Amino acid sequence: MKPMGPIPPFFDSEDGMLLIGGCGIASLIEEAGDTPLFVYDLGIIKAQVARFRAAMPAGVTLHYAMKANPYAPLLERMVSLTDGFDIASGGELDMALRAGMQPSHISFAGPGKRDRELEAAIFAGVTINLESEGEADRALAIAQRLGKTPRLAIRVNPDFDLRGSGMRMGGGAKPFGVDAGRAGALASHVIAAGADWRGFHIFAGSQALDADAIIDTQRATIALAARLAEEVNATPPRVNLGGGFGIPYFPGEVPLDIEKVGAALAETLENRPAILKDSIFAIELGRWLVGEAGVYLTRIVDRKVSQGETYLVVDGGLHHQLAASGNFGTVVKRNYPVAIANRFGAKPSTDPVTIVGCLCTPLDRLADKVLLPEAKAGDVVAIFLAGAYGASASPSAFLGHHAPLEMLVE
C-alpha cells in the first residue's frame, strides 16, 4: 500500500456520491454527456480569491497566471475576480482579450516571444515583461514601426531563489529574465528610448508550501526592486513580486499559511524604501487559485488482476492529466489524492489497487497501490487537484483518444 495526497477540504458527498459545486457527479457527467470530464468549481476559486484578499495588505493586486487553466468559461469569470492576467504566448493573449480582460491589465512574460507576438501585444497595449536585451530592442523597433509607445517592464532573473520551491525559476543561470546585475541598465535603456516603463517583474519560483520561504523571498524581491530603482533613479510604477504559492499534492504536505505571508508582507511594505513608496505591488498566482477547484472524473472500464496486483483501468489517462502520472515536474512518482466518486466516504477495501489509464504505455499510472472502496467497471474515479496544469498541460493528441470534456459549475 502507498499513501496518497490529501483530498482538498472543500468536497462533500450525498449518499456516497461526490458533490462538486453542490451537484452529484452522476448528474454532472450526464449533463456533460460523457467521461473523462474535468469539472471546475467556481465556488472554490471565489473562496480562494476572498482568502487572498483578506490575507494580503490592501493595495496588493492579484494577477492570474492563465497558463494554469485557460478554459474559456473559467477565464471569463477570472476577469472580474482578479486584477489582471499574466500571459505567456500570443495564443494566451488572444484568449485573455476574448475573455474580456482589459489590455492594460495584461502582462506578457515568457522567453522566445516572436516578432508577431510582440507586435500583437504592443498593438493591444499589453505590458511586455522583457526577457532579454535582444527582446527589448526588437520590441522597441516594432513599436516604432507601429507608431506606438510600448508598455515595457523588465523581467529580472533574481540572484536568489525560492527555497523549497517545486520549480526553481531564479538564482543562477536561467532562460528567464535579465540577470539582476543588468536589469537596471536595461530599464534605463527602454526609458531613454521613449517606452512607457512599467517596472519590474521578479519571479523566483513555484509551488512553495513554506510560508517562511515565501516571506524571505518577498523581502529579498522588494529589496532587489529598490536597489534596481535606485540604479534607474526612478520609481517603478509596478513591482510584480511573482507568486509561488503552492498547494498540497502529496502525502505529508501541508497547506501554505497565506495569512502569515500576508502579515509579513504588510510589514515589509510598510517599511519599504522611499523609492518604492508610489509603486503598486502585484502577486501572480496560478495553481493556488484554481488547482484545488478541479476534479478529473474518469470511468473504470476494466478491473483485472496480474500476478496478485489489482488494476482498475479507466477511460482517461495521462493524455488528459499528465501531472497525476508523475510525468510533469516531479522526479518521484507519488500519489495524487483520488477517490471512487460514486462510493465517496465508503469503507476502503484492504486490497490495494493501482489505477491505470487507457494508454498503451507503462507511464500511464494515475495512482499506485492505493486503498479505496471496492470498485468495479462502471464506477467513476475522481482525481483531485486537477484545476491547474491538467487539460491544457497534457499531451491530448497522444494515442488518438478523444480530448477530455470540461465544465464549470458554481
Ligand X SMILES: *Cc1c(COP(=O)(O)O)cnc(C)c1O
Q: Which three cell numbers stand for residue 284?
A: 501572480
Phi-psi region of 391 (alpha: psi -120 to 50; beta: other; left: phi over 0): alpha
Phi, psi of 39 (to 5 degrees): -115, 130
Q: State how far the alpha carbon of 300 is from the alpha carbons of 81, 203, 268, 360, 366, in Å.
A: 36, 41, 51, 16, 12
Phi-psi region of 69 (alpha: psi -120 to 50; beta: other; left: phi over 0): beta
Q: Does 390 bind ligand X (CB under 6 A)?
A: no
| CB of residue 81 to ligand X, shortest distance in Å | 15
Q: Is the peptide bond before 36 cis (omega within 30 degrees of 0)?
A: yes
Residue of 28, 121, 178, 388 interacting with ligand X (CB under 6 A): 388
Identify the CA nearest to 101 among candidates 67, 68, 64.
Answer: 64
Residue of 25, 62, 65, 340 interacting with ligand X (CB under 6 A): 65
Whichever of 71 and 288 has its CB closer to ligand X, that residue is: 288
Q: State how far the alpha carbon of 320 is from the alpha carbons of 196, 316, 386, 394, in Å.
A: 41, 7, 10, 5
In whole angstroms, what is the distance from residue 359 CA to residue 42 CA?
31
Q: Which residue is nearest to ligand X (CB)?
A: 286
Residue of 4, 41, 78, 86 interacting with ligand X (CB under 6 A): 86
| CB of residue 174 to ligand X, shortest distance in Å | 12
| CB of residue 68 to ligand X, shortest distance in Å | 4
Whichever of 264 and 285 has its CB closer to ligand X, that residue is: 285
Whichever of 6 and 243 has its CB closer to ligand X, that residue is: 243
Would you say 336 and 353 are in contact if contact means Cβ atoms under 8 Å apart? no
Q: Which three cell numbers stand for residue 199?
A: 517596472
Q: Does 288 bind ligand X (CB under 6 A)?
A: yes
Q: Does 198 bind ligand X (CB under 6 A)?
A: no
Residue of 48, 107, 127, 206 interacting with ligand X (CB under 6 A): 206
Q: Does 284 bind ligand X (CB under 6 A)?
A: yes
Q: Does 157 bind ligand X (CB under 6 A)?
A: no
Q: Does 286 bind ligand X (CB under 6 A)?
A: yes
Query: How many Cβ atoms from other residues are within 10 Å of residue 72's Cβ?
Result: 11
Q: Does 366 bind ligand X (CB under 6 A)?
A: no
Q: Does 203 bind ligand X (CB under 6 A)?
A: yes
Whichever of 88 and 312 has its CB closer to ligand X, that residue is: 88
| CB of residue 246 to ligand X, shortest distance in Å | 7
Q: By CB under 6 A, which span of 9-17, 34-42, 70-78, 202-210 interacts with ligand X?
A: 202-210
In whole angstroms, what is the distance from residue 287 CA to residue 145 CA?
38
Would you say 217 and 162 are in contact if contact means Cβ atoms under 8 Å apart? yes
Whichever of 209 and 228 has its CB closer to ligand X, that residue is: 209
Whichever of 77 and 174 has its CB closer to ligand X, that residue is: 174
Q: Which residues bind ligand X (CB under 6 A)?
A: 65, 67-68, 86, 109, 203, 206-207, 243, 284-288, 388
